[in-house]
Structure formats: C-alpha cells, structure tokens
C-alpha cells in the first residue's frame, strides 16, 4: 500500500521492547492518539498493528479502524430511529431460528456472566472478600455437568466474541452484526442465544476491567494494559465517567432481561402452558427482547473496542452516550412488559398450586396417619430448612418434632386477639400445667398467626406481633409468612375461621377432634381435656341450670355465697336509673321477707367504657357489689356466649333443652336493656328482663301473702310469670360476621316460634362522638 512501510518481526520486537522502558506508567511514554487529518507516523502504525496482533484481529491501518467504528456508530444510530421496519426486521430474525431440540441449562453460565459483569465496573466493591467471592462462585458454577457444559460451549462463545470484535472494527452495520450472531446460533433456543452472547461479551469486557483493576500492582497486567491504552484511559476516567455509567446501566438492563427470559424458560409446564394468555404473549415478545439485548451487546462492545484501539479521540463525541441511553430506554420498556407477563404467569401458577395444596389438605384430613407430623407439616411448614416454632418458655426456635404424637391445640387468630382472651387462656393453660404429667405431657398449644399476605408488613405491625409472641408461654409459629395461602384458605373455608380466634384440636394422629375448643375451654377450663367434640357433649349432659354454670371460675366470693345458701341477684344493664330502682327495691323486699340477699353487678357484653362509668356510680352510692376488674365482666359474657356457640357447633341449638332456653334468654335480655337472675344458693329461681323483674319487686305487696304458703322462691316466680305473660319482651340475638358458624334459623326462647332474620349494621360508641364528624 502506498505510503505504508512493511514491518517485520524484528521491528515489532524492538517496539515491544522499547515500550517496557521506565516511564510515567512504568513504560516509555508515547502518544497513542491518531489524528484523522494526517497519516499517523510509521512507529504508531507498528504499535497499532502489534496491538491488533495481540488481540488476534486482522491487521489494518488505525485510521481505517477509526473510520470504521465511527461508521458503525452512525449506522447503529440510523437503525435506532427507523422503527417502521421493526416487523420486517423481526421476521428476518425469527427466520434464523431453527432449534435442533438440544436443551442447554444456561443458568450456571448466566450466574458466571453475572459474576463477571458485576465485578467489571469502574467502582470496585471492596466489601466482598476474595474468599467470599470464591465461595459464591463455587456455589453457582460447580454443579453437576457444569464443567462439561462449559467445555461444549466454549468454542461457540469464542466464535461470538471474535465475531463481535471483528465487526466492531470493520464498521459493519449494527443490525448486520446482530444478524450474524443469530446466524451463528440458529440451532439454539432463545434463552441460550441470549446467554451465550452475553458470555462472549463478558469475556472481552471482563478482560478490559480486569486489567484496569490490577495493572497498577501487577507487572504483566501493566504491560498488557499499555498495549490497550488503559493507563491513558484511566487517567481521563473522569471525562469518560458518563460513558462508563451509560454502559453499566445498559449492561444491568441486559442482565435483567436475560434473567427474565430464563425465568420464562423455567416455568413449570405442569402448571402453565402456552394456552395461558400471559405466557403466549411473553413467548411472542421474547425474540424481540433477545434481539435488542444482542443489539445492545454490540453497542457496548463498540464502545470498549473504540476506546482500546483509538484511545481518547474515540471519546470526543457525547452522542454515543445518548445512543446507549436510548437503547437502555427501549430495552427497559421491553423488560417492563416481560415482567408484567411473568408476574401474571406466576400468579396463574400460584393459583393452580394453591388449589392443589388446598385439595391435598382436605384429603389429608380424610386419611389415617401413624402420627401427627404429616398433618402439622402440611399446616405449618413442610420443609426442614428452618425451625418454624418458638418455644414459649425458652424463647428459642424449635422443630415441629416437639409436637410429635401429642394432642395439639392450634390457636388460630390475627394480631387483634384481645388481651382479655390471652389473659384468661394463659390462666387456664398454666393451671393445666400444675396438674402434673397427666396433662402436661399430653397436649401442647400452638399459636398460628393468620395475616393477609397482601397487607404490607410494617415496623408497627412487626412490633405488635413480636410483643404478642413474647407474651405467650406456649409454642408460636415464628412468623406469619410461614403459613401459606392455601392453608389460610383451608382454615377459613373448612374450619370457618372469620378473624375471630378459634382453637382447633388435633389428636396424636393428626385427626381433627374439635373444630373449635375455645368455647368449652371458656366454659369448663382444663376440665374439658382432651377437648374433643365427644367430651364437649359429655360435659353438657352432666350440666344443669344452676348459678355455678354462670359464674364458675370467675369470682370465689359468689361461690362462697352459694355455699352459705344465700339469695343472690346477678344483674346487668346500662341504665343507672333502673339500677337504682332495682337495687333499692330488691333490698327492701329482702328485708321484708327476711331473706339473706347479695347482689352483684356484672355489666354488659358491650359498651365497656359506659359500664366502667356506671360501676363507679354503683360503688359511690353503695348500691351493690361489683366486679372491679373488667376482665371478669368480659369473661362472664364470653362464657355465656360460648355456651350458645358450643350448642351451635354441636348442632343442638334448638333442641328442647330448658337450660339452653335460659341461656338464650339471658343473651337476648343483655341486648335489650337490663336484666336480673335470682338464685337461692345454687338453684336459679328466676331469670327476667328489666321490664318484668323490677315490677315483680315493686309489687311485693301483691304477692307477699303467698310467701308463707308457697315459700319465697315459688311466690316470686309465680308473680313474675304473671307479669311476663302481659309484657312479652322481644328477643334478639346478634351474631358478628367474624363468628365462623352462624345458624340459618333460630327459635325464640320465650315462645318457641321461628325468629325473623335481619342483616344489621351496628356502630357502638363508648365515648362522645367528635363534633368534627358532623361538620
């Protein structure tokens, strides 16, 4: 060629020897930047050729390489703005796709590429030690058949790497370069095309940054870095920073696309097929995603090749940064679309798996098991990789094996379980532990927290959960996220959980023996062990309508009154005027009849604050005895309600049981004003509404003559029935939607007729409503 001097090997050796002389970077200084306005000197030409020989690329004049690279950038820019031909272009790309059926597991290779590109940055992450990095890479790459897979793919990766480098120097159009890569990979799947190309890029890009990171401390790397002009590039890294940031940003998006495409390939075919719209839509867009990722690889390769062959002159223009950003924007739009479809695919898979797990749970409870472990694993946590329970006594994590072959009581609730409930439950639990080995070794209690997976787990929620968990002396599931969605569905649909705590009982073989033992535990405490439905029925058969049924386990003072054979008035309501009239008249009747009478105010099942204020008035005016602890009032009404729910659960709500009729009356009276129950020792004399019991006392003069004849009890009961027959107070029952089992029909405890059913919206306020609500 005219004006070009042939360079033999001795001259190349001489130049190579001369650049290793001491200089600014440990070598002889030189000017590697070529001007396009005049032919470069022959020494620089020889240096350029040496650099190309070292890279294994064709020898050519550096000015030719510069012009070719600029041509590639310009042609790429032209391709970026011509979007009308995208369909034609993609048909061309799809036309190269002819997979031969081979299956390549690209995940290990993708992990390797990810590791290279993650570390090949201008800012070196010094927080990762060499041993840690080595361990991570070992975990990701040294899998079965990984080494043999790399052996099989190395040739293809090298070919792609050389192809990209060659086309970057020859000025080939970006689309043509990308198309040539697709032609080389025609027999591979789309995910394999993508990962193999990224591996080829990582090979060159990783080498570039490896030298950049170590050339200052390694003599061999220093010499190689000089051949690639790296010292000069690093010296001006501040100027090049926007370009490197643009490259790194594009690389990150490329890797995100690759992970997304590989995830689509790994979707389980047993749960999803191409008939699912989300998957079919994604499959149609994956070729486009792969194309633009490969196109981005070519653009990044051009940048790096331009810098190492033409130095800082290549970096004069800022237009290339815009080109990289445009590619990143386009690729990011594609990525967002794929991620949206991938999320829809995972939702479809989760739904199918949830249905499968839900059905498996239903089938599991229909089988006979040797022990309870299979059932507990299905309900709480099926794997062995973590300890899913916390021991309430030691506060240490433990495995499910601690529950093997024991009666297990699952306390299922949200975080809104009442402190009163926990307090009474803890009292019963601790009492059962004092009974010795008979009960202690036979049953365990486990809190299963149920949380909506769609609700954000905030610091406030976490603190509340931790506080509740720490306060519990029994076993607890260590975190609500352990309980899977199909298990929650099973608990709600099969066990009728409606955000109100339930206590499900499983026997040592994992068989369900009671869907909710909380009712019988409130009524009979640990005496209800082993908390089976059959035990519940047996306890009801032994029970009678007596005062102990209402107050047992609450107040020993009343139990002493019963033993002493006193008359006892339990009364409630929220009308202080009625309370004054009732207590004064009751005391007057007792004095007139010369009977020992005690009275105790037990409040209402609702309106806690109003009850508190009324109790203060009763105490101040010395109207009667009260329960100062509001937990006792809560437990009294909870036990009464539990008696009703227990009968509902057993399917014996409307059987002809006089005791149950009295319980229903008491609950109804509480909803409709005041009430009173009078007992003579243990025997209940009368159970009346405020509209009947007060007139009975007021009209004592009308029936006092019957007291010597019939006795006080019968005389009062007879007159009360007379008034009751005239007044006919309404009966009303309120069942919250949080109660799992709501009866379809109910009979009135007063007249035994079918009651009407209404849907009620209720808002009770203990305090004054702020005026702001009415503005």
Write down the pLDDT at residue 752.
65
pLDDT exceeds 80 at position 541: yes
For the ranges 46-50, 491-495, 579-583, which has the lowest average pLDDT? 46-50
Record the tokens describing residue 144, joined without a space. Answer: 């079965």
Q: What are phi and psi of 356, to 5 degrees?
A: -65, -45
525 burial via Cβ count (<10 Å: 0-12, 13-18, 19+): middle
Write down the pLDDT at residue 667.
86
Instruction: Output the pTM of the full model.
Output: 0.69
Supply the DSSP string of 320-331, one letter for each residue. HHHHHHHHHHHH
Distances in whole angstroms, Cα of residue 523 to Cα of each of 422, 548, 691, 764: 15, 11, 29, 27
Q: How confident is the model at residue 526 (pLDDT cuts 50, 70, 90)?
A: confident
Please give the distance of CA 736 from its chain centroid, rounded to a whole number.
Answer: 28
pLDDT exceeds 60 at position 330: yes
Closest CA to 665 of 643, 682, 649: 643
Mean pLDDT of 181-208: 91
Write down the pLDDT at residue 100.
87
Residue 603 burial (CB count, 10 A): 25
pLDDT exceeds 90 at position 588: yes
Residues 6+ apart with CB under 8 A from 565: 596, 680, 681
Contact 372, 404 (CB under 8 A): yes
Q: How far apart are CA 432 and CA 526, in angstroms?
A: 6
Find where tokens 């290779």 sit: 109
Q: How far apart are CA 241 and CA 568, in angstroms?
A: 89
The string of pLDDT tens digits covering residues 481-520 is: 999 999 999 999 999 998 889 999 999 999 999 999 999 9
pLDDT exceeds 60 at position 5: no
The string of pLDDT tens digits covering residues 84-111 is: 567 888 888 988 998 888 888 888 889 9
Write down the pLDDT at residue 251.
92
Q: How far apart are CA 267 and CA 283, in angstroms?
A: 12
pLDDT exceeds 90 at position 306: no
User: In this predicted model, which residue has the larger pLDDT, 88 or 368?
Assistant: 368
User: In this predicted model, which residue has the larger pLDDT, 108 or 151?
Assistant: 108
| H helices present in 389-546, as ranges | 419-433, 437-440, 459-471, 485-493, 518-524, 533-542
Q: Which helix (H) or strand (E) holds 506?
A: strand 502-506
Q: How far apart are CA 514 and CA 534, in angstroms?
A: 9
pLDDT exceeds 90 at position 468: yes
Write down the pLDDT at residue 430.
85
Q: How confident is the model at residue 759 (pLDDT cuts 50, 70, 90)?
A: low
Q: How far apart are CA 177 and CA 199, in angstroms?
A: 16
Contact 583, 609 (CB under 8 A): no
Please give the distance of CA 267 from its chain centroid, rounded to a whole number.
Answer: 21
Provide the terminal-to-terminal Cα distance of the chain, rounded to the nearest Å. Answer: 94
pLDDT exceeds 80 at position 428: yes
Record the tokens describing residue 622, joined without a space. Answer: 């010395």
Positive or negative, the Cα torsion across 681, 682, 686, 690? Answer: positive
Find where tokens 């926990």 sit: 422
Pairing verdict, β 407-413 and 389-390: unpaired
Distances in whole angstroms, Cα of residue 175 to Cα of each of 182, 297, 397: 10, 11, 58
Record the tokens describing residue 605, joined without a space. Answer: 């099942």
389-390, strands of its sheet edge to edge = 397-398, 389-390, 475-477, 443-449, 407-413, 502-506, 512-514
Write down the pLDDT at residue 146.
64
Supply the DSSP string of 675-726, one letter for each residue. EEEEEETTEEEEEEEHHHHHHHHHTHHHHGGGHHHH-HHHHHHHHHHHHHHH
Q: Which helix (H) or strand (E) holds 135?
A: helix 130-141
Q: Which helix (H) or strand (E) holds 664?
A: helix 658-671
pLDDT exceeds 90 at position 143: no
Mean pLDDT of 541-557: 90
Q: What are phi and psi of 179, to 5 degrees?
A: -65, -40
Write down the pLDDT at residue 730.
65
Write down the pLDDT at residue 303.
83
Write down the pLDDT at residue 52.
40
Q: How far apart are CA 721 and CA 351, in angstroms?
A: 60
pLDDT exceeds 60 at position 40: no
pLDDT exceeds 90 at position 63: no
User: In this predicted model, which residue has the larger pLDDT, 651 or 287?
Assistant: 287
Q: How far apart are CA 645 and CA 652, in angstroms?
A: 10
User: In this predicted model, which residue has the larger pLDDT, 769 or 244?
Assistant: 244
| Side-chain half-sphere exposure of 111, counting CA atoms within 13 A | 15
Closest CA to 47 of 209, 312, 304, 228: 228
Task: Work out the mean pLDDT of the chain and round it to a whole number.
Answer: 79
The string of pLDDT tens digits covering residues 245-271 is: 888 899 999 999 999 999 999 999 999
Beta strands in 298-438 (DSSP E): 389-390, 397-398, 407-413
Write down the pLDDT at residue 6.
40
Q: How confident is the model at residue 565 (pLDDT cuts 50, 70, 90)?
A: very high
Record the tokens describing residue 416, joined without a space. Answer: 């809104």
DSSP 8-class letter at 772: G
């Amino acid at each position: 060629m005219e004006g070009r001097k042939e360079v033999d090997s001795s001259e190349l050796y001489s130049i190579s020897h001369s650049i290793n002389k001491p200089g600014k970077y440990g070598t002889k200084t030189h000017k590697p930047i070529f001007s396009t306005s005049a032919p470069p000197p022959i020494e620089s030409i020889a240096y350029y050729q040496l650099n190309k020989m070292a890279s294994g690329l064709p020898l050519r004049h550096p000015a030719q390489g510069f012009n070719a690279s600029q041509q590639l950038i310009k042609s790429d820019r032209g391709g970026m703005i011509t979007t009308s031909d995208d369909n034609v272009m993609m048909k061309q790309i799809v036309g190269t796709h002819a997979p031969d059926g081979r299956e390549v597991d690209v995940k290990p290779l993708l992990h390797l590429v990810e590791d290279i590109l993650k570390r090949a940055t201008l800012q070196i992450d010094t927080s990762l030690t060499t041993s840690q990095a080595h361990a991570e890479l070992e975990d990701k790459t040294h899998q079965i058949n990984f080494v043999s897979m790399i052996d099989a793919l190395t040739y293809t990766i090298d070919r792609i790497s050389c192809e990209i480098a060659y086309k970057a120097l020859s000025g080939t159009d970006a689309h043509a370069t990308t198309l040539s890569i697709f032609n080389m990979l025609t027999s591979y799947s789309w995910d394999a095309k993508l990962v193999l190309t990224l591996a080829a890029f990582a090979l060159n890009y990783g080498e570039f940054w490896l030298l950049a990171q170590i050339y200052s401390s390694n003599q061999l790397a220093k010499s190689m870095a000089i051949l690639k002009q790296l010292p000069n590039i690093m010296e001006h890294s501040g100027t090049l920073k926007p370009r490197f940031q643009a490259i790194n940003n594009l690389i990150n998006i490329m890797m995100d696309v690759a992970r997304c495409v590989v995830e689509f390939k790994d979707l389980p075919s047993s749960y999803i097929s191409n008939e699912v719209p989300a998957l079919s839509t994604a499959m149609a867009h994956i070729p486009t995603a792969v194309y633009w990722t490969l196109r981005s690889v070519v653009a990044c390769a051009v940048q790096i090749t331009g810098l190492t062959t033409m130095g800082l002159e290549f970096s004069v223009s800022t237009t290339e940064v815009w080109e990289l950003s445009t590619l990143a924007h386009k690729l990011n739009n594609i990525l967002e679309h794929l991620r949206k479809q991938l999320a829809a695919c995972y939702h479809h898979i989760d739904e199918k798996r949830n249905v499968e797990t839900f059905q498996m749970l239903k089938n599991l409870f229909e089988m006979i098991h040797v022990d309870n472990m299979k059932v507990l694993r299905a309900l709480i946590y099926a794997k062995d990789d973590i300890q899913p329970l916390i021991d309430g006594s030691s506060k240490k994590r433990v495995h499910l094996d601690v529950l093997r072959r024991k009666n297990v009581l699952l306390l299922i609730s949200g975080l809104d379980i009442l402190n009163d409930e926990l307090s009474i439950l803890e009292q019963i639990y601790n009492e059962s532990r004092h009974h010795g080995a008979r009960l202690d070794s036979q049953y365990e209690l486990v809190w299963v927290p149920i949380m909506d997976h769609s609700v954000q787990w905030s610091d406030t929620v976490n603190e509340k959960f931790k506080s509740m968990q720490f306060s519990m002396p029994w076993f607890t599931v260590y975190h609500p996220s352990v309980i899977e969605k199909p298990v929650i569905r099973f608990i709600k649909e099969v066990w009728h959980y409606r955000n109100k705590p339930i206590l499900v009982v499983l026997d040592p073989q994992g068989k369900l023996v009671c869907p909710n033992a909380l009712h019988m535990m409130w009524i009979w405490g640990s005496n209800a062990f082993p908390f089976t439905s059959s035990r519940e029925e047996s306890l009801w058969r032994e029970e009678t309508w007596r005062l102990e049924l209402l107050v047992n386990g609450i107040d020993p003072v009343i139990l002493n009154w019963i033993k002493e054979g006193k008359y006892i008035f339990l009364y409630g309501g929220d009308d202080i005027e009625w309370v004054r009239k009732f207590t004064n008249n009751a005391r007057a009747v007792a004095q007139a009849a010369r009977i020992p009478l005690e009275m105790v105010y037990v409040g209402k099942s609702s309106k806690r604050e109003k009850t508190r204020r009324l109790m203060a008035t009763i105490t101040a005016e010395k109207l009667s005895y009260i329960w100062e602890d509001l937990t006792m009032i809560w437990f009294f009404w909870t036990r009464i309600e539990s008696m009703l729910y227990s009968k509902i659960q057993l399917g014996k709500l409307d059987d002809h049981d006089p005791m149950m009729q009295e319980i229903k009356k008491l609950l109804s009276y509480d909803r409709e004003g005041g009430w009173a129950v009078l007992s003579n020792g243990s025997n209940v004399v009368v159970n009346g509404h405020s509209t009947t019991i007060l007139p009975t006392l007021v009209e004592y003069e009308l029936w006092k003559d019957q007291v010597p004849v019939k006795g006080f009890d019968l005389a009062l009961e007879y007159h009360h029935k007379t008034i009751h027959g005239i007044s006919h107070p309404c009966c009303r029952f309120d069942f919250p939607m949080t109660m799992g089992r709501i009866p379809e029909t109910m009979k009135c405890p007063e007249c035994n007729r079918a009651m009407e059913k209404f849907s009620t919206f209720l808002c009770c306020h203990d305090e004054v409503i702020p005026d702001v609500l009415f503005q």
